Amino acid sequence: MGNNDLIDTVKNKAQVWLTKSYDEETRAQVQTMLDNEDPTELIESFYKDLEFGTGGLRGIMGIGTNRMNKYTVGAATQGLSNYLKKEFEHLDQIKVVIGHDCRNNSRKFAEISADIFSANGIKVYLFDDLRPTPEVSYAIRELGCQSGIILTASHNPKEYNGYKAYWDDGAQMIAPHDKNTIAEVNKIRNASEIKFNGDKDLIKIIGKELDEQYIQDLTTISLSPEAIQRHHDMKIVYTPIHGTGVRLVPAALKAFGFTNIIHVPEQDVVRGDFPTVISPNPEEPAALALAVAKAKETDAELVLASDPDADRVGAAVKNEVGEWVLLNGNQTALLFVYYLITRWKQLRKIKGNEYIVKTIVSTETIRTIAEQNGVEMYDVYTGFKWIADIMKKNEGKKSFIGGGEESYGFLCEDFVRDKDAVSACAVLAEMAAWAKDQKLSLYQLLQQIYVQYGYSKEKGISVVKKGKSGAEEIEAMMKHFRENPLMEIAGSKVIQIHDYSSLKGYSFIDNETLSLDMPTTSNVLQYFTEDKTKVSIRPSGTEPKIKFYCEVHLPIKGLEDIPQAETKAKEKIEQIKESLGI
């Protein structure tokens, strides 16, 4: 499409937003865009419609079809309502749960959605205030709902908001329901088709009682209560980074038995502009800086953090010389998998039908731990909905131990079907208490895991490409890697390639084409080399980024080999970046 054609297209789309179906403020903003000689804002706001990705609907807040606003949220809710009424027409009453996080407009969007669902005859359970994403998943199952949504953009910058849609199993929607919902949304071409006038009799406010039930159920997953009793006063610093975790994470830690939770007062303030951080992402060291400073000040033993909707967990621990280091998502997942499998075995809970789940871009050391302990492991796509899909397929047949991904998400319980920082924080603290019984810190426990199962280092690299031009650049980069496959990475020969867009791979050792057993295609490319290096490349489903996941494995014999392995791994990752041209 040429530039003039593009401008004509977006102008035509914008003109629709000047009709009386849209409120006066919206019409004025659209007219300002149309009158501006510089069409950049108009193009960015209207060149496409927001679509469901790995995290649902997500975008920058503002006016336009490519923005999060009353009308895009309204269209999503009306489309979902239409689909629910088709899919569950046999039910006397369709029910949904609505939650929201701390972001600007999240409560407003939640109330608008409640009105639309109720105007369509659907009963709504609306949380009285902000709540963690995993509690919405929990509530769907507990209240016997057919669907649910939460208004959140997770860990994205403050300009963003989002809309995660769930099905009756408490998991984010996958095919066919996501595609069918989008088809219904796409049928709505004008705001006049959205039923904004709600039925208050069909909206029920929920809150404290469900919180208490959720936390009580979380305590049932505790595996080392005696260790907690012995170390209940261990100093734990926790920050919600201005988000929903402030309500439930301290309560969950207390319910598990911990009595010395240290807050970061500046970040307990619920604010959608996240005033103390540039990005409210526990993957970013800067987001945990205040918490680490508080830990130094109070001589704490563990730092825990959750993102704004409290589904991702971040942690910092002291190393062997007392310096605070941040655990990455792969390291945290390793600790969870090791601890859960070890304790399940010690408590004789392993019966032979247990399993764990990881994503394909997460560390292969998880596979090693599972295999050496006789636990089945599933590999799935990025996005916790795929972990939940395995849980659904195995329900009543196999026992779920845990599942996680490198992007700081983990789930330790089977009655929630999304990543859960509330339970993850509690179990990480329990793990620290259990390690203390063995005269180990969490950092030392991680080193022991490396000695037992092999040293690995992982590095995620994101290249940001914003807007329409950025999306085109990312598409061109993926095309280049497919058409010019790497034969060598950082001096090591590529022995296998997996292309999930075609569900085909190739083994250079056996000279044969491979079929990849996955439920659908995905825009992911993976390389495996002779020295066990793994490189994965994929566009982000929720942010304007192309992501590179580098994983290096090195042999070690003991703890004394780890520092040298760490140095070599860092050098190797720099070589990988050169091979990739990033």
> Does domain 455-580 match CATH 3.30.310?
yes
- pLDDT at position 54 over 60: no
Tokens of 378: 């599933």
Active-site residue flag, 362: no
* CATH superfamily of the domain spanning 48-206: Alpha-D-Glucose-1,6-Bisphosphate, subunit A, domain 3 (3.40.120.10)
What's the sign of the alpha-carbon dihedral 410, 415, 418, 422? negative
Q: What is the pLDDT of residues 483-542, one digit of tens each?
A: 999 999 999 999 999 999 999 999 999 999 999 999 999 999 999 999 999 999 999 877
For the segment(s) 214-453, the CATH number from 3.40.50.620, 3.40.120.10, 1.10.10.10, 3.30.930.10 is 3.40.120.10
C-beta separation of 167 from 89 below 8 A: no
Report d(CA 464, CA 484) in Å as an integer. Answer: 22
Residue 471 has what pLDDT? 87
Nearest residue to 384 (alpha-carbon basis) of 142, 136, 192: 136
Tokens of 484: 């010019």
106, 113, 154, 407: the catalytic one is: 154
Q: What is the pLDDT of residues 69-111, one digit of tens each?
A: 999 999 999 999 999 999 999 999 999 999 999 999 999 999 9
The H-assigned helical ranges of 88-157 are 106-119, 133-142
Q: Domain map of the chain by residue range?
A: 48-206, 214-453, 455-580
Residue 179 has what pLDDT? 86
Residue 182 has what pLDDT? 84
What confidence tier does 9 reach under pLDDT thresholds 50, 70, 90? Answer: very high
DSSP notation for 174-243: -TTHHHHHHHHHHH--SGGGS-----GGGEEEE-HHHHHHHHHHHHTT-S-HHHHHHTTT--EEEE-TTS
- pLDDT at position 427 over 80: yes
Average pLDDT score over the chain: 96
What is the 8-class DSSP label of residue 287?
G
C-beta separation of 557 from 476 below 8 A: no
Residue 13 has what pLDDT? 95
Assign 549 to helix, strand or coil. strand
DSSP notation for 356-388: EEEETTS-THHHHHHHHTT-EEEEE-SSHHHHH
- Predicted structure pTM score: 0.95
Q: What is the pLDDT of residues 353-396, one digit of tens each?
A: 999 999 999 999 999 999 999 999 999 999 899 999 999 999 99
Report which secondary-structure segment, H or E, holds 392: helix 384-394
Residue 278 has what pLDDT? 93
Which CA distances in Å does 261 have to 147, 252, 290?
A: 35, 11, 15
Q: Do domains 48-206 and 214-453 have the same CATH topology?
A: yes
Per-residue pLDDT averaged across 309-313, rounded? 97
Per-residue pLDDT averaged across 106-124, rounded? 98
Q: Which residues lie below 8 Å from residue 164, measured CB to CB, with a gap of 6+?
A: 55, 56, 57, 133, 149, 150, 152, 172
Report d(CA 258, CA 159) in Å as an integer. Answer: 36
CA 208 to chain centre: 25
- pLDDT at position 469 over 90: no
Other beta carbons less than 10 A from residue 404's beta carbon = 29
What confidence tier does 33 reach under pLDDT thresholds 50, 70, 90? Answer: very high
What is the 8-class DSSP label of residue 328?
P
- pLDDT at position 1 over 60: no
338-341 contacts at long range (C-beta below 8 A, 24 or more positions apart) = 338/369, 338/445, 338/449, 338/453, 339/223, 339/427, 339/431, 339/434, 340/223, 340/401, 340/402, 340/412, 340/427, 341/369, 341/370, 341/373, 341/375, 341/401
What confidence tier does 7 reach under pLDDT thresholds 50, 70, 90? Answer: very high
- pLDDT at position 544 over 90: no
Per-residue pLDDT averaged across 415-429, rounded? 98
Residue 50 has what pLDDT? 83
Per-residue pLDDT averaged across 430-436, rounded? 98
Which CA distances in Å does 92 have to 191, 275, 449?
A: 28, 46, 53
The one-letter amino acid code at 232 reads H
Q: What is the pLDDT of residues 184-240, one digit of tens each?
A: 988 998 999 999 999 999 999 999 999 999 999 999 999 999 999 999 999 999 999
Burial letters 131-148, b for 16+ CB under 10 A, else e: bbbbbbbbbbbbbebbbb
CA 287 to chain centre: 17
Residue 384 has what pLDDT? 94
What confidence tier does 55 reach under pLDDT thresholds 50, 70, 90? Answer: low
Q: What is the pLDDT of residues 525-542, one digit of tens each?
A: 999 999 999 999 999 877
